[in-house]
Amino acid sequence: MSTPPSAYLELEAVEAWLGPRRVFEDLSLRLFRGESTAVLGPNGSGKSSLVKLLSRELYPVVKPGSCLRIFGSETVNLWQLRSRIGLVSQDLHAAYVGRVPADDVVLSGFFGSVGIGRSQVATGAQRRRVAELMEQLGLADLAGRPYGQLSEGQRRRLLLARALVHGPEVLVLDEPTNGLDLKAKHQLLAILRGLARAGTTLLLVTHQIEAVLPEIRRCVLLREGRVVGDGPSDALLQDAPLSALFATPLRVCEANGYRQVLPAD
């Protein structure tokens, strides 16, 4: 008998605020290892706030009947969490200054930092891991190049390499294809498909339907901080659910496991 999948994120009746704005009032959700999932929703629906709950950048209100568990625990060691969850986010993308060398961007994943400080001394094994990942993601010729001189696609792949330095169980991708041209987008999606096939659990957070990989079998629809749909991708990535989610008439077209949306009118 197979072992049921275990949850890496469990939210029960969570309330959370970003400054004066309440982003979640009564959010309940479970995400499981081995089940790649897309969280879809319009801008302002709470997608990035959900990522911040998982990365412990945002804390829920403490109240009876509410809890947040990561890998089964309500208390989380951030260093251990970074080794189990890799993160590629828009905030991280914006945090790196232009002069940071490309290989230091990847290396900083070992330290949970932005760039490498004077007190952070990398081991030979860590540098070999960086070289291996840069080779794997087609970035080997960029070592030493300043981050600010790279294309958006190259920067995004560097941040992906940074997220992979520990070989995480779960890879969290917050709007990973934003700002990429078609070639860079397709390159990144091909890499992510390979990771999913190799056993990495993906959590894709996006408003772009075309970024949902064929390997992602579950979708969670989020609107105004509430889950309005949760189930198989084949059932939810359809005209009616997506039209309701984005409050506009949409028609879904599918080819080779990918989906595009067109105006229904």
* DSSP output for 86-146: EEE-HHHHHHS-TTSBHHHHHHGGGTTSSS--TT----HHHHHHHHHHHHHTT-GGGTT-B
Is the pLDDT score of 1 beyond 60? no
- Helix, strand counts (H, E) of the chain: 9, 11
d(CA 66, CA 27): 9
Output the average pLDDT for the chain: 93
Task: State both tokens at 16.
Answer: 């959370």
d(CA 172, CA 51): 8
Q: How many other β-carbons are positioned within 10 Å of the β-carbon of residue 191? A: 18
d(CA 243, CA 241): 6
Question: What's phi and psi for 47, nearest 5 deg?
Answer: -60, -50
Q: What is the pTM of this model?
A: 0.94
Q: Rounded mean pLDDT of 143-170?
A: 95
pLDDT grade, residue 235 (50/70/90)? very high
Is the pLDDT score of 206 beyond 70? yes
- Rounded to whole angstroms, what are the CA distances from 128 to 91, 107, 169, 171? 27, 10, 21, 21
DSSP 212: -
Q: Which residues contact 167 (CB under 8 A, 6 or more apart)?
A: none
Q: Rounded mean pLDDT of 194-218?
A: 96
Q: Rounded mean pLDDT of 204-221?
A: 97
Q: Which residues contact 135 (CB under 8 A, 6 or more apart)?
A: none
Is the pLDDT score of 157 beyond 90? yes
d(CA 83, CA 41): 28
Q: Write the pLDDT tens digit of every residue in 103-149.
A: 999 999 999 888 788 888 899 999 999 999 999 999 999 999 999 99
Q: Write the pLDDT tens digit of every residue in 221-230.
A: 999 999 999 9
What local confidence, expressed as pLDDT, does residue 175 receive? 94
Q: Which residues contact 216 (CB under 8 A, 6 or more apart)?
A: 36, 37, 38, 196, 202, 204, 233
Q: Rounded mean pLDDT of 233-243?
A: 97
What local confidence, expressed as pLDDT, does residue 96 receive? 84
d(CA 82, CA 238): 35
Strands (E), the chain: 7-18, 21-32, 37-40, 67-70, 85-88, 170-174, 201-206, 218-223, 226-232, 250-255, 258-263
Q: Which residues contact 152 (CB under 8 A, 6 or more apart)?
A: 179, 180, 181, 184
